[in-house]
Amino acid sequence: MKILAIESSCDETAAAVIEDGRIIRSNVIYSQAQEHALYGGVVPEIASRRHIDAICPVTEQALAEAGMQLSEVDAIAATCAPGLIGALLVGANFAKSLAWAQNKPFIPVNHIRGHIAANLLAFPELEPPFLCLSASGGSSMIVHVKDYTDMEILGGTRDDAAGEAFDKVARVLKVGYPGGPKIDKLAQTGNDKAYKLPRSSIKDAPLDFSFSGLKTAVINLAHNAEQKGEEINVNDLAASFSAAVSDTLVPRLRLAAKQTGIRRLVAAGGVAANSRLRADLEKMAKSIHAQLYMPPLALCGDNAAMIGAQAYYEYLAGATGTIWQNAFASAEISEDISQKRVFAKKHAKR
Ligand code: KG4
């Protein structure tokens, strides 16, 4: 089954053709990052407008690279939640319109489920159940993936997402946007013990965590140094911060493995590209004799291939959408978004 998938939840306009949830026929990404870098972060209104500019050419390219006509795909999928609502609406409506015009099934996909499914593309042998550490710009959580479409959050951030913390720290250190990759690079030549930074712990919720205290500690450190006219060693601070993020996430995944007895571990999301996190995950997995799956860097960030992979399993589970399907800024990973509240259907006069 060949699925044309569309992703537009943030600042990447992407389209891909995926076969049977596992094989990438094409994977085209147009990143708007350079434009948003001018403002130090994603400007939602600009993101929506650029999606409209880019979505047709990106989709045409994805079909051309797959050597297919639109009429030859079996279904059309799009990210429908969570994300920037204006941005999501562009991709969701575009994909719904194509599906309607072609009389093909439309499959709404949860973006975080998509990030997890990036691993299904990279590792043909990978099957649920497994535990996933999903860390991106909008969310960070430990998920028990019981089946392809049956997921439970075991723990997660109480405030900022890991990627959000990377981006904010990068802004304070004035190292540019997007912050994660810049901090990662600076950290390579820094001393991770140079700055003492806090690691969160939440009473009675050992799998939950927080990044706002860590972020504030870095901000205060930078401001105090500025006021005193002292130099900050940016590489050392980047390394100390990256270590603190990793020290927050990796032990939680280890604890989740201990609590559930599951020894198949997976990483997902933009922050899964972080070199410190990847190295620490490898060490931890080895120490508990677990199998570890981490997507190649190209599949960590937002892309439509992962949406096409997850869409296949949503389709098999019967979670197809209709022309009534809406997009949602937030959604639980456990819920079936094809069944989420449909305002228009309730209110339409016939
Ligand atoms: O998954 P993603 O592309 O978009 C969302 O779904 O949110 O994640 C983007 C986030 C950004 O916050 C970015 O700074 C972070 O992932 N990121 C990284 C790295 N590459 C991207 N964070 C740390 N280290 C990296 N190498």
- Express each pLDDT in 248-302 by its tens digit: 999 999 999 999 999 999 999 999 999 999 999 999 999 999 999 999 999 999 9
Cis before 82? omega within 30: yes
Q: Strand, helix or coil at 15? A: strand
Residue nearest to atom 13 of ligand 1 (CA): 180
Q: Is the pLDDT of residue 173 over 70?
A: yes
3-state helix, strand, coil in the chain (%, to 5): 45, 20, 35
Sign of CA dihedral 43, 45, 51, 53: negative
Note whether 171 and 179 are within 8 A (CB): yes
Among candidates 349, 320, 339, 338, which has minimal Cα distance to 107? Answer: 320
Residue nearest to atom 23 of ligand 1 (CA): 180
pTM: 0.96
136 touches ligand 1 (CB under 6 Å): yes
Q: Which atom of ligand 1 is least distant from the CA of 170? A: 14
**Strands, E assignment, the chain:** 2-7, 12-19, 23-31, 75-81, 106-110, 130-135, 140-147, 150-156, 264-268, 291-293
Q: Which atom of ligand 1 is least distant from the CA of 185? A: 26
10 touches ligand 1 (CB under 6 Å): yes
Among candidates 117, 111, 50, which has minimal Cα distance to 80? Answer: 111
Strand order across the 12-19 sheet: 23-31, 12-19, 2-7, 75-81, 106-110
Q: What percent of the chain has pLDDT over 70?
A: 97
Q: Is the pLDDT of residue 341 over 90?
A: no
Q: Which atom of ligand 1 is least distant from the CA of 164? A: 12
134 touches ligand 1 (CB under 6 Å): no
- Determine the distance separating the centroid of ligand 1 and the alpha carbon of 85, expressed in angstroms: 19
Which residue out of 36, 132, 166, 310 has the highest number of ligand 1 atoms within 8 Å of its CB and is therefore the one to mutate?
A: 166
- Determine the distance separating the centroid of ligand 1 and the alpha carbon of 1, expressed in angstroms: 30
Q: Strand, helix or coil at 174? A: coil
Q: Is the pLDDT of residue 343 over 80?
A: no
For residue 31, the cross-strand partners are 12
166 touches ligand 1 (CB under 6 Å): yes
- Determine the distance separating the centroid of ligand 1 and the alpha carbon of 177, expressed in angstroms: 11
Residue nearest to atom 8 of ligand 1 (CA): 270
Q: Is the pLDDT of residue 214 over 70?
A: yes
**Token pair in block for residue 76:** 């059309």
Query: CB 293: neighbour CB atoms within 10 A?
Result: 20
Distance between CA 334 and CA 159 in Å, rounded? 20
